[in-house]
């Protein structure tokens, strides 16, 4: 992306979802971000839950947690701005440690990451000696450092199957663990963590959507409770949701996940009507054009990982990336 793009060029990318009157309040920040990316030799990696003006107008690379981890490894630019949440920025730093990694708002946490500490993982290991620890990337680097391997929702089945064991400790998302246990047949010991966005969906929400939109295809994120996944037609990571819509071309689809997801992908599928039941992630929503601009202008909100944790955490993430999956 170059600085020669005009505000009108940028608006063309978002006009399907951002009204002109709103864009008028965003254009100056978007233009400043393009200029600053050039001056700082920076790229913006943005999660699929970013608002459309971030996702479409200023991001260089977008995707699910797995894609962002993979892409972070290959960044040549000096600065990575991780438009997402703190654990994603830590993962980028682990995988490309010579880069300066900034996060637009240091308070962008995650209810899953906050649910578990390194001491909790050590206690689980002590209670279940010899059982491998598979840790969702939605955790701190300190928790990853206590783990054998990481996973995302996009590769959890492949990661578990790669271990070839009958039992794993899979933390900290109790619902992802339960959903993956059913898919793999592997016994899973878990932890009572949950995503505050996806745990709020219920089977009766799905029944209401089906009543309101007869024939609708329902696609859920596997951080949803198993009863919600059971009531849906497919479950997968945010990238797998997109792949599913691309492959099946449903007439009407409901993505049971964070609110920005449908806004970001709807334009890609003009033949599909997106019903938009959703829950907002307050942590993801701390990312704004203003906070991205501020981080780049001041070069503040740098994310680092202490040396004593980094090598062990990196090993668990790298092992995950070595497990081959299509996406």
In the list 139, 184, 238, 288, the residue contacting ligand 13P (rule: CB under 6 A) is 238
DSSP-derived 3-state class of residue 61: strand
Interacting partner of 93 out of ligand SF4, ligand 13P, none (Cβ under 5 to 8 A depending on kind): none
The nearer residue to ligand SF4, 36 or 94, going by C-beta atoms, is 94
d(CA 33, CA 37): 6
Phi, psi of 164 (to 5 degrees): 60, 40
Contact map string, positions 136 to 155, toward ligand 13P, x by CB under 6 A: --x-------------xxx-
Structure tokens at 255: 């993505």
Contact map string, positions 185 to 214, toward ligand 13P, x by CB under 6 A: ----------x-------------------
Q: Which residues bind ligand SF4 (CB under 6 A)?
A: 85, 110-112, 138, 195-197, 223, 258, 281, 283-284
The nearer residue to ligand 13P, 102 or 261, going by C-beta atoms, is 261
Where in the chain does DSSP place strands (E)? Answer: 42-47, 61-63, 79-83, 100-102, 133-136, 149-151, 167-171, 187-189, 217-220, 234-235, 252-258, 273-275, 278-279
Q: At closest approach, how far in Å is the CB of 248 from ligand 13P? A: 18
Interacting partner of 153 out of ligand 13P, ligand SF4, none (Cβ under 5 to 8 A depending on kind): ligand 13P
The nearer residue to ligand SF4, 162 or 264, going by C-beta atoms, is 264
Q: Are 107 and 281 in contact (CB under 8 A)?
A: no
Contact map string, positions 48 to 87, toward ligand 13P, x by CB under 6 A: x---------------xxx---------------------
Interacting partner of 111 out of ligand 13P, ligand SF4, none (Cβ under 5 to 8 A depending on kind): ligand SF4
Structure tokens at 136: 């969702």
Q: At closest approach, how far in Å is the CB of 196 from ligand 13P? A: 10
For position 237 contacting ligand 13P by CB under 6 A, the verdict is yes
Q: Report how many residues bind ligand 13P under the rule CB under 6 A.
A: 12
Q: At closest approach, how far in Å is the CB of 130 from ligand 13P? A: 29
Give how far the C-alpha of residue 188 lies from the chain's centroid of Cα atoms, to the nearest Å: 23
Q: Burial code of 146-182, b = ≥16 C-beta within 10 A, e = fewer?
A: bbbbbbbbbbbbebbebbeeeebbbbbbbbbbbbbbe
Give how far the C-alpha of residue 283 lies from the chain's centroid of Cα atoms, to the nearest Å: 11
Phi, psi of 140 (to 5 degrees): -70, 160
d(CA 139, CA 320): 14
Q: Are 5 and 58 in contact (CB under 8 A)?
A: no
Interacting partner of 272 out of ligand 13P, ligand SF4, none (Cβ under 5 to 8 A depending on kind): none
Q: Are 242 and 221 in contact (CB under 8 A)?
A: no
Q: Which residues contact 154 (CB under 8 A, 6 or more apart)?
A: 64, 65, 66, 67, 236, 237, 239, 240, 325, 327
Q: At closest approach, how far in Å is the CB of 114 from ligand SF4? A: 9
Between residue 29 and residue 48, which ones bind ligand 13P under the rule CB under 6 A? 48
Structure tokens at 17: 């979802």
For position 90 contacting ligand 13P by CB under 6 A, the verdict is no
Interacting partner of 154 out of ligand SF4, ligand 13P, none (Cβ under 5 to 8 A depending on kind): ligand 13P
The nearer residue to ligand SF4, 115 or 162, going by C-beta atoms, is 115
The nearer residue to ligand SF4, 34 or 171, going by C-beta atoms, is 171
DSSP-derived 3-state class of residue 242: helix
**Chain residues in the site for ligand 13P (CB under 6 A):** 48, 64-66, 138, 152-154, 195, 223, 237-238
């Amino acid at each position: 992306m170059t600085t020669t793009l005009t505000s009108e060029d940028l608006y063309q990318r978002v006009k399907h979802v951002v009204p002109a009157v709103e864009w008028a309040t965003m254009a100056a920040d978007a233009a400043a971000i393009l200029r600053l990316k050039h001056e700082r030799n920076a790229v913006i990696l943005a999660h699929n839950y970013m608002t459309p003006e971030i996702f479409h107008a200023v991001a260089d690379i977008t995707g699910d947690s797995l894609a962002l981890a993979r892409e972070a490894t290959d960044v040549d630019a000096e600065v990575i701005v991780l438009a997402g949440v703190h654990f994603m920025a830590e993962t980028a730093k682990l995988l490309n440690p010579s880069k300066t990694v900034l996060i637009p708002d240091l308070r962008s946490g995650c209810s899953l990451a906050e649910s578990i500490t390194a001491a909790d993982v050590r206690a689980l290991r002590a209670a279940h000696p010899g059982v491998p620890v598979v840790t969702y990337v939605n955790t701190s680097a300190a928790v990853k450092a206590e783990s054998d391997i990481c996973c995302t929702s996009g590769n959890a089945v492949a990661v578990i199957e790669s271990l070839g064991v009958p039992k794993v400790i899979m933390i900290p998302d109790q619902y992802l663990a339960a959903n993956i246990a059913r898919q793999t047949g592997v016994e899973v010991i878990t932890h009572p963590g949950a995503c505050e966005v996806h745990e709020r969906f219920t089977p009766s929400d799905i029944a209401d959507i089906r009543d309101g939109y007869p024939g609708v295809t329902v696609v859920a994120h596997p951080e949803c409770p198993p009863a919600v996944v059971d009531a849906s037609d497919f479950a997968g990571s945010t990238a797998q949701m997109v792949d599913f819509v691309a492959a099946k071309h449903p007439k009407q689809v409901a993505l049971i996940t964070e609110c920005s997801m449908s806004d970001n992908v709807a334009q890609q599928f003009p033949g599909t009507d997106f019903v938009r039941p959703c829950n907002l992630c307050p942590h993801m929503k701390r990312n704004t054009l203003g906070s991205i601009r501020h981080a780049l202008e001041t070069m503040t909100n740098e994310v680092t990982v202490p040396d004593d944790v980094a090598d062990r955490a990196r090993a668990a993430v790298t092992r995950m990336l070595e497990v081959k999956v299509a996406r």
